Amino acid sequence: MLERIAKADPAFAAGAAHTLSGSASGIGATRVAQAAERLEQAARAKASSAEFDGAVEALKAATVEASAAITARLGSALRDH
């Protein structure tokens, strides 16, 4: 999904980042939400390629971190049952 956002036109990227930000906030993935907001702002401002790419990379890193945390939490919960 992030690769598609990275290659999309600014309006699509901003909309997708906005949706992701709201979803991430809803599950408590604060870092993902903040990174998605940064990407949304960069897309809406039609930021430079370097700034936009940096926002995409920050969002990728945040999603990897959140995924690892969720996996660890689920693994722990499954082992306890």
**What pLDDT does 6 receive?**
84
Angle between the N-to-C axes of helices 49-80 and 10-26, in degrees from 0 to 180, rounded to the nearest 10? 30
**DSSP designation for 28:** T
Amino acid at 38: R
Residue 72 has pLDDT above 80, yes or no: yes
- Every domain of the chain and the residues it spans: 2-80
Overall average pLDDT of the 49-76 stretch? 93
Amino acid at 6: A
- pTM for this entry: 0.86
Q: Are 40 and 17 in contact (CB under 8 A)?
A: yes
**What pLDDT does 75 receive?**
81
**What pLDDT does 53 receive?**
94
In 3D, which of 27, 53, 23 has the Cα closest to residue 38? Answer: 53
Q: What percent of the chain has pLDDT over 90?
A: 75
